Amino acid sequence: MDNHTKSFSSLLISLWFTALLILVEMVSCARQHRRSFLAKEADLVTNLPGQPDVSFKHYAGYVPVDKSNGRALFYWFFEAMDLPKEKPLVLWLNGGPGCSSVGYGATQEIGPFLADTNEKGLIFNPYAWNKEVNMLFLESPVGVGFSYSNTSSDYLNLDDHFAKKDAYTFLCNWFEKFPEHKGNEFYIAGESYAGIYVPELAELVYDNNEKNNDLSLHINLKGFLLGNPDISNPDDWRGWVDYAWSHAVISDETHRNINRLCNFSSDDVWNNDKCNEAIAEVDKQYNEIDIYSLYTSACKGDSAKSSYFASAQFKTNYHISSKRMPPRRLAGYDPCLDDYVKVYYNRADVQKALHASDGVNLKNWSICNMEIFHNWTYVVQSVLPIYQKLIAGGLRIWVYSGDTDGCIPVLGTRYSLNALGLPIKTAWRPWYHEKQVSGWVQEYDGLTFATFRGAGHTVPSFKPSSSLAFISAFVKGVPLSSSRVETN
């Protein structure tokens, strides 16, 4: 055999092997795609009791985050009402720590199905955020809602970093189940103690994107959005006290005593017994009203009677134990809505439809897990360094505040954001929706801060239409309306 013939034979063999490798890869990809499709379709929700008729699909179920410990997080995903493969994906987290994103975000605020006050089913939300984006609600960490671990020690080790790592693992595994959304623009949003969860998770995603050259591991993170968030302990607590005083909840004398006895420049504000005694007067006055919505009626139903927040233990131990208040809302158009949500998610047929149980062994679902709240280890005192890092990294960051929330008030948020020292890009101005002032907004170099006029702690439940306009502007990266005149 001459050299020419040998070369030709070698080329044919090489081409044959290349074709074989391509075929193997195609078969492997096809199998992986089929596994993803089957796993996703197994989570399709088809018979949710009381659900309004809709044209979009939604999925619910579990994603494992630690197979050796038997740890899995529960999610509920709503495709966008149109063009879901093109629309951005938003992950929503509620805080607490220990409160359910399904019970709050999905069913009381921004999901397409809201709790019906007749305690029998759901009603359609005309201002659902999946009009603009794909919405993914996550119950995090384990022990919240339907999320669980088969290893009891996991529940004793919960802290800010534990939650962050599990949420990241969840995302990676969720994208394997829903690969068609891997390339979508991705945003993380949340409220209250998610003010810690969200920047922590965003930083982890950002860092891993920077480290990994493998595009298959890349998550297309573009920014995050936070409402009435915990940001920085000293500024948040100082704002909490000043807001109570400026809104006539406490007296001048109480305010003076607190400022004299409490060191708000320290991360450990409550290590002073005299300070705790002065702060107790703020709690005493807030116990008379709804701290989450100063100007609406408090719940008089079962939630008010049985709630930990109404107990003597809460009133005595809240600040002394340095615990934070979870984002529990007992106000709004129906201040007892938590009761309706609890009834609905404890129905066996509802849990079965959501793939959260077999419909026989009914779980005791609660909107907030108080054991998690009591035992939480607060590792992070401030996320301002993360803000600085991710602003420098080019992520879009918007923060908003309902201005009638006394729990994490607008004043504390302003103190925290002012500590960043960002240059002002656009001066403080009103922003409009439906020809009315929805609130005020200030654009900094790298961050936008806005208020919602007359909204409490869970802003979308108070201002649903304005909130939908807000998320639309955020994902499009356009300024909030500066005119009463509406433009198409």
Active site members: 192, 405, 457
Task: Give the C-alpha separation, 124 to 106, whole Å.
Answer: 12
H/E segment holding residue 330:
none
Provide the token pair at 318. Answer: 């809240």
Pair 400, 393: CB distance under 8 Å: no
Q: Give φ, ψ of 260 to 5 degrees.
A: -80, -35
Angle between helices 384-392 and 194-211 (to 10 degrees): 40
Pair 456, 106: CB distance under 8 Å: no
Task: Give the C-alpha separation, 164 to 138, whole Å.
Answer: 12
Task: Give the C-alpha separation, 406 to 328, whole Å.
Answer: 12
Task: Give the C-alpha separation, 158 to 373, whole Å.
Answer: 10
Task: Give the C-alpha separation, 453 to 108, whole Å.
Answer: 19
Residue 458 DSSP SS3: coil
Residue 367 DSSP SS3: coil
* DSSP label of 144: S
